Chain A
Amino acid sequence: MKFQIEDVTVYFPYENIYPEQYSYMIELKRALDAKGHCLLEMPTGTGKTIALLSLITSYSLSKPSNPVKLLYCTRTVHEMEKTLAELKLLHNYQVKHLGPSARILALGLSSRKNLCVNPAVVSAENRDSVDAACRKLTASWVRALAAEDPRVSTCEFFENYEKASSDAVLPPGVYTLQDLRTFGKEKGWCPYFLARHMVQFANVVVYSYQYLLDPKVAGIISKEMQRESVVVFDEAHNIDNVCIEALSVRVRSQTLEGATRNLNKMSQEIERLKATDAGRLRAEYNRLVEGLAQRGNLPISDTWFANPTLPADILKEAVPGNIRRAEHFLSVLRRLVQYFKGRLQTENVEKEGPVTFVASINAQVGIDQKMLRFCYDRLYSLMLTLEITDTEEFMHIQTICDLATLVGTYTRGFSIIIEPFDERMPHIPDPVLQLCCHDASLAIKPVFERFQSVVITSGTLSPIDLYPRLLNFNPVVSRSFTMSLTRDCICPMVLTRGSDQLPVSTKYDLRSDPGVEKNYGKLLLEMVSVVPDGVVCFFVSYSYMDGIVNSWHESGILKEIMQHKLVFIETQDVVETTLALDNYRRACDCGRGAVFFSVARGKVAEGIDFDRHYGRLVIMFGVPFQYTLSRILLARLEYLRETFQIKEGDFLTFDALRQAAQCVGRVIRSKADYGMMIFADKRYSRHDKRSKLPSWILSHLRDAHLNLSTDMAVHIAREFLRRMAQPYDKTGAMGKRTLLSQEDLEKMVNGVSDMLF
């Protein structure tokens, strides 16, 4: 269908549209018009992605003189593929209606692991080793060597791509990663480098958050993007954590050992080079004297990491004289590593700001701030000079230089925390030195500044006014949409009391109370006997889950649960968890029924859907607060309070509730689905907690369901499941229209346009 939103003709590939999608598009359109940033919350299962894609592409079609480019960021490769598949459908529709003029180029960009077609390279086990294997074949000096010596192997796909040079372009169309690989194989061109090249010309690019937020990667990939771009962060409820991760570094003793090995190897190389090709080292020295940290325009295959600091903060100065010579630089690094080693031997937890840390480095090993700041660039230059391709092996020394550069550049928003052991396991020494970034706005600031519109969207962004403060920007539009439903297919409940009417909670003082554990067990037991197929339980942490499952086992509750359903548990091991999930699904399919125990903030809570019969009920045991004794968290809270005036409690509650909303949101993925959500903690009934849930959950949370005990919850569950099992009218004939056709929209535009919501 196609319809008008103000001056834009929107092409929408489906016959009908949900009312909330329509209003979502209107808001988005206004934000694009205003060339500003926006924050939109809409529940999953309402077709957020297609609404976004179809509006933005239609918007750029309607303004052919100044088309906008769409940079769509997803969290996972799976989501990337889904987005591209939707886009393909949309593109076909647009081409059908508008003819070839509507053709666009859209592609997904991912790491080499996902795009490589060279069988010898892609068989490596992880991402880093694929990257390293690729560089071994494609680095410019390797290729130069191969030109002389045919025994040196290169990648034929890359060679073909280079040979085709300017002819190597993708014809317009929508390319998923699979399509790119197929295209690459067909033509014999390397899909990864082709995609990286084409990113600059594409109308739509779908890639991961890191390509924009992590300065190390963004400097290479996203440098050339024009200002007239719309950046979309999908599923962005954790965007502040991604930003912080991008600027945080963690050094363990293994890293230091690895770094020492790297240094030894590098000094051997330097010795060798001195003997054979001293000219190369001298050339590097001269270049550094001239103030060029890098070798001018590098070929595409030689760039691998850019400076870890943000583009605006990189110094445009010459590398200081005392680290220009390779040997001198190495000895500086050696002293630095030695210093870190010394710091790691501490027995107390230490916390200091970057300024004091730099001062103590200067005092003890004589490395000043400026030298620290140039570490990364200097290392990079040296590695190029030494023609090192195995970047995986030299990861450790990169980490060290990373830390040095960051600590030398920033004085605010960071802190250094050294912990001799994990707080929760004080017997095992596991020293770690962490550079923690506390300010999420640092990493995302260049994105806001560079691009005219940034759209942050997710199913859970409540409370929506906190994100602008955390990320320090001014949205022109921030709205939260609810889901229009033909029937009340979600049933959230707050359970405050157990079957003996005593309050239940995972609060610190109640947590280990056997009565609470028993009440939780009883709740689950009652629920598994009335809920069919799959039930998912979320606990606040692994240790809490271990404890409570143990106590259920001892009291025999677990055995009773197993009479009704099989029990599966998420562990920290990915393979094990995947296996458990697989079997869980099978148990749900064959009618045996199953319970899945999982942890909020775990892998399952973030990425796995429990839609349809895989999750008829999700129980959130407790409020998933972060581990509040963690030093990193405390430091961040302090920073937030001082800088953004965000109270500790507010931030903790916000963070806990967005996790809880994420967990329970797993259960419903489309409008035809139905599911129940139980928040089992008395604290959820308090207004300050409850009000932070997303509005699409809140609007279904009735007053009568705010203070339930186990027996009442069971009764409600029974009734709800019976009601939902009845056949229903999908079009919503009973006065509630949830699907709008083209005529409806036209009528709406002509008549009262604000009758929605």
Chain B
Amino acid sequence: MSHKVTNDEGMQFNREEEEENDDDGDGMDLDAWERAYADERSWESLQEDESGLLRPIDNKTLSHAQYRRRLRTTSAARVQKGLIRYLYIIIDLSRAAGETDYKPSRMVVVARQVEAFIREFFDQNPLSQIGLVTLKDGVTHCLTDLGGSPESHIKALMGKLECSGDSSLQNGLDFVQGLLNQIPTYGHREVLILYSALSSCDPGDIMETIKKCKASKIRCSVIGLSAEIYICKYLCQETGGSYSIALDESHLKELVLEHAPPPPAIAEFAIANLIKMGFPQRAAEGVVSICSCHKEAKVGAGYICPRCKARVCELPTECQICGLTLVSSPLLARSYHHLFPITPFDDVSPSVANDPRKLPKNCFGCQQSLLNPGKS
């Protein structure tokens, strides 16, 4: 379980998951105190203040930050957003990624967060694609090409977790820039860099590379794991990305997941465009056919490309034969909701929440009971 308890809300949320776990039978005999030890990491929710006293982590600033974030997302309504995103995640696997200030080590934590991010990303942006790149020994390694399948990315990432050498921001950017340049103009080019190191050993002038990235309209965002580096800040400023530094693992998670919803499109980048898409039918149930994506005979459900009638296994994808973008309408709808976010809502204070008379009994959207959260 990767959740860490940061505030009361989170705690409740956690319990809920635990209860689900209990049904599986493995956490059955954990007592409450053991649970607090094993799962909630309660010691991590304490903080030392200036005089050395322990106190709980300041929930006020956290909720303040959350509030501000919500305001930001809502105020950004009606802003054009890039729905079809081509995102490269650059993971720094240099020497610094082996440091253990995050437990067990920076790279493991990063990999864990990237995994969660990839799932969340495809959940929110079904039409988009991700590629994975690592920096190691001053060289850039491409783990996966751009693709829409979360599983293949995660598998590739988990298989390659070792760190050594220096990292070169310039090499990474150059590489990614070369790849992203081939992307059709309607796609939004983004790079998310998870940077452990505190320096960048470059073969040439990184300023040139940053200029090139800017010219190719690649939005670069950096999440640092230890401290603010000038060149990263400059890169983000120039290309319109965001730069943030993680305080701890939960903060890192928050920062990474902030990149899941599509960012507002920068006006000059966004050219309104018509895109040709196919909506394949689910077909050929129980029939043996040759799958165009795996190049082998498969039994069972697949989709048929409406143009060339080739069989593909999953959506969204690009047809291997005719190159048509294949999506399904629910995917399109899911992406679409980013354009019309829910209207801002007011916090309900706990005292009101406990007073059943003043509240509707069920959520108007999903019909879950509001009185007994967690039990529908």
Residues on A lying within 8 angstroms of B by beta carbon are 529-533, 563-565, 588-593, 612-613, 616, 702, 704, 718, 721-727
Check B229 for interface membership: any CB of A closer than 8 A.
Answer: yes
Residues of A within 8 A of B200 (CB): 590-592
Measured CA separation A698–B166 after assembly (Å): 38
Residues of A within 8 A of B247 (CB): 722-723, 726
Per a CB cutoff under 8 Å, which of B52, B96, B199, B245 touches A591? B199
A-B contact pairs, 6 of them (CB 8 A): A532-B226, A533-B198, A591-B169, A592-B200, A718-B227, A725-B245
Residues of B within 8 A of A723 (CB): 247
Q: How large is the interface on B (under 10, 10 to 19, 20 to 34, 35 or more residues)?
A: 20 to 34
Contact residues of B between 159 and 210, Cβ < 8 Å to A: 166, 169, 198-202, 205-207
Check B277 for interface membership: any CB of A closer than 8 A.
Answer: no
- B225 and chain A: residue at smallest CB distance: A722
- A587 and chain B: residue at smallest CB distance: B199
Closest beta carbon of chain B to A33's beta carbon, Å:
40
Measured CA separation A109–B96 after assembly (Å): 53
Closest beta carbon of chain B to A209's beta carbon, Å:
35
Do the beta carbons of B226 and A722 come within 8 Å of each other? yes
Residues of A within 8 A of B169 (CB): 591
Per a CB cutoff under 8 Å, which of B101, B206, B207, B227 touches A531? B227
Do the beta carbons of A590 and B207 come within 8 Å of each other? yes
Measured CA separation A267–B228 after assembly (Å): 70
Do the beta carbons of B199 and A589 come within 8 Å of each other? no
Sample of 8 further A-B pairs with CB below 8 A, known A532-B230, A588-B230, A612-B230: A533-B198, A564-B198, A589-B230, A592-B199, A613-B229, A718-B226, A718-B227, A722-B227
Closest beta carbon of chain A to B196's beta carbon, Å:
12
Q: Which of B200, B224, B228 has the most CB of A within 10 A?
A: B228
Do the beta carbons of B229 and A533 come within 8 Å of each other? yes
- A613 and chain B: residue at smallest CB distance: B230
Interface string of B133-156 (1 = CB under 8 A from A): 000000000000000000000000
Measured CA separation A592–B167 after assembly (Å): 10
- A565 and chain B: residue at smallest CB distance: B199
Per a CB cutoff under 8 Å, which of A565, A590, A725 touches B228? A725
Check B5 for interface membership: any CB of A closer than 8 A.
Answer: no
Measured CA separation A555–B187 after assembly (Å): 54
Residues of A within 8 A of B206 (CB): 590-591
Check B231 for interface membership: any CB of A closer than 8 A.
Answer: yes
Do the beta carbons of A725 and B230 come within 8 Å of each other? no
- A529 and chain B: residue at smallest CB distance: B198
Check B26 for interface membership: any CB of A closer than 8 A.
Answer: no
Measured CA separation A613–B230 after assembly (Å): 6
Check B31 for interface membership: any CB of A closer than 8 A.
Answer: no
Do the beta carbons of A532 and B227 come within 8 Å of each other? yes
Residues on B lying within 8 angstroms of A by beta carbon are 50, 52, 96, 101, 166, 169, 198-202, 205-207, 224, 226-232, 244-247
Measured CA separation A592–B166 after assembly (Å): 11
Residues of A within 8 A of B246 (CB): 722
Main secondary structure of the interface of A (DSSP, over half): helix
Measured CA separation A459–B247 after assembly (Å): 33
Closest beta carbon of chain A to B167's beta carbon, Å:
10
Known A-B contacts A564-B199, A591-B169, A592-B200; the reply to A721 vs B231 at CB < 8 A is no
Measured CA separation A533–B197 after assembly (Å): 11
Question: Which 6 A-B pairs give the minimum distances between C-beta atoms?
Answer: A591-B231, A725-B245, A721-B227, A613-B230, A725-B228, A591-B200
Residues of A within 8 A of B228 (CB): 532, 613, 721, 724-725
Q: Which of B166, B205, B207, B227 has the most CB of A within 10 A?
A: B227
Do the beta carbons of A725 and B199 come within 8 Å of each other? no
- B61 and chain A: residue at smallest CB distance: A734
Per a CB cutoff under 8 Å, which of B50, B166, B199 touches A532? B199
- A720 and chain B: residue at smallest CB distance: B227
Measured CA separation A563–B96 after assembly (Å): 12
Q: Which of B52, B226, B244 has the most CB of A within 10 A?
A: B226
Measured CA separation A658–B244 after assembly (Å): 37
Closest beta carbon of chain B to A428's beta carbon, Å:
42
Per a CB cutoff under 8 Å, which of B224, B231, B244 touches A589? B231
Measured CA separation A530–B230 after assembly (Å): 14
Measured CA separation A744–B245 after assembly (Å): 35
Do the beta carbons of A590 and B202 come within 8 Å of each other? yes
Measured CA separation A587–B207 after assembly (Å): 12
Closest beta carbon of chain B to A734's beta carbon, Å:
9
Per a CB cutoff under 8 Å, which of A565, A589, A591, A702 touches B232? A591
Closest beta carbon of chain A to B371's beta carbon, Å:
36
Do the beta carbons of B227 and A725 come within 8 Å of each other? yes
Known A-B contacts A591-B231, A721-B227; the reply to A532 vs B52 at CB < 8 A is no
- A488 and chain B: residue at smallest CB distance: B50
Do the beta carbons of B245 and A726 come within 8 Å of each other? yes
- B230 and chain A: residue at smallest CB distance: A613
Residues of B within 8 A of A564 (CB): 198-199
Measured CA separation A723–B230 after assembly (Å): 16
Q: Which of A564, A588, A724 has the most CB of B within 10 A?
A: A564
Residues of B within 8 A of A727 (CB): 244
Residues of B within 8 A of A529 (CB): 96, 198
Do the beta carbons of A530 and B229 come within 8 Å of each other? no
Closest beta carbon of chain B to A672's beta carbon, Å:
12
Known A-B contacts A589-B231, A590-B205, A704-B52; the reply to A532 vs B198 at CB < 8 A is yes
Do the beta carbons of B101 and A533 come within 8 Å of each other? no
Closest beta carbon of chain A to B286's beta carbon, Å:
56
Known A-B contacts A590-B205, A592-B200; the reply to A725 vs B224 at CB < 8 A is yes
Residues of A within 8 A of B101 (CB): 718
Residues of B within 8 A of A532 (CB): 198-199, 226-230
Closest beta carbon of chain A to B232's beta carbon, Å:
7
Measured CA separation A721–B206 after assembly (Å): 24
Closest beta carbon of chain A to B80's beta carbon, Å:
25
- B204 and chain A: residue at smallest CB distance: A590
Residues of B within 8 A of A530 (CB): 198, 226-227
Do the beta carbons of B227 and A592 come within 8 Å of each other? no
Per a CB cutoff under 8 Å, which of B231, B244, B245 touches A590? B231
Residues of A within 8 A of B224 (CB): 725
Do the beta carbons of A591 and B202 come within 8 Å of each other? yes
Measured CA separation A533–B227 after assembly (Å): 10
- B242 and chain A: residue at smallest CB distance: A727
Closest beta carbon of chain B to A710's beta carbon, Å:
16
Measured CA separation A727–B72 after assembly (Å): 15
Known A-B contacts A722-B245, A725-B245, A726-B247; the reply to A592 vs B229 at CB < 8 A is no
Closest beta carbon of chain B to A80's beta carbon, Å:
30
Closest beta carbon of chain A to B58's beta carbon, Å:
11
Closest beta carbon of chain B to A431's beta carbon, Å:
50
Measured CA separation A723–B251 after assembly (Å): 12
Residues of B within 8 A of A563 (CB): 166
Residues of B within 8 A of A533 (CB): 198, 229-230
Measured CA separation A702–B49 after assembly (Å): 12
Closest beta carbon of chain B to A419's beta carbon, Å:
47
Measured CA separation A711–B232 after assembly (Å): 27
Closest beta carbon of chain A to B98's beta carbon, Å:
12
Measured CA separation A532–B227 after assembly (Å): 6
- A724 and chain B: residue at smallest CB distance: B228
Measured CA separation A588–B232 after assembly (Å): 12
Closest beta carbon of chain B to A668's beta carbon, Å:
15
- A702 and chain B: residue at smallest CB distance: B50
